[in-house]
Structure 1
Amino acid sequence: GKGKSVNSQTFTTGLVTDVLFEDSRAFAVVNGEKLPAEQITRVSIN
């Protein structure tokens, strides 16, 4: 049978340790991984 596609989102939580700007783009370093800022949907301050 043929399956149907579904939309999904992956979430990561972690501590932002740095913010980088490269080639006119912003990145946040979260858990040691560089993430494009446009992929960040929520920031909480505890």
Structure 2
Amino acid sequence: MEKQDLASAYRRMKSPNIKTRKRALKIIHEIKRAKQRNLLKEK
């Protein structure tokens, strides 16, 4: 199983493999979405 953190996802974005890039992009979007939800919840 691969790491699901932001740093690993950004590193995987440099990969020539399309599937790897798509997987990384999905993780990045997921984390950004969660961060945005937390900001809205705090207000």
Task: Give the TM-score band, short-chain normalised.
Answer: under 0.3
Q: Which has the higher contact order (CA 8 A, sep 6+)?
A: 2
Q: Which has the higher strand share?
A: 1
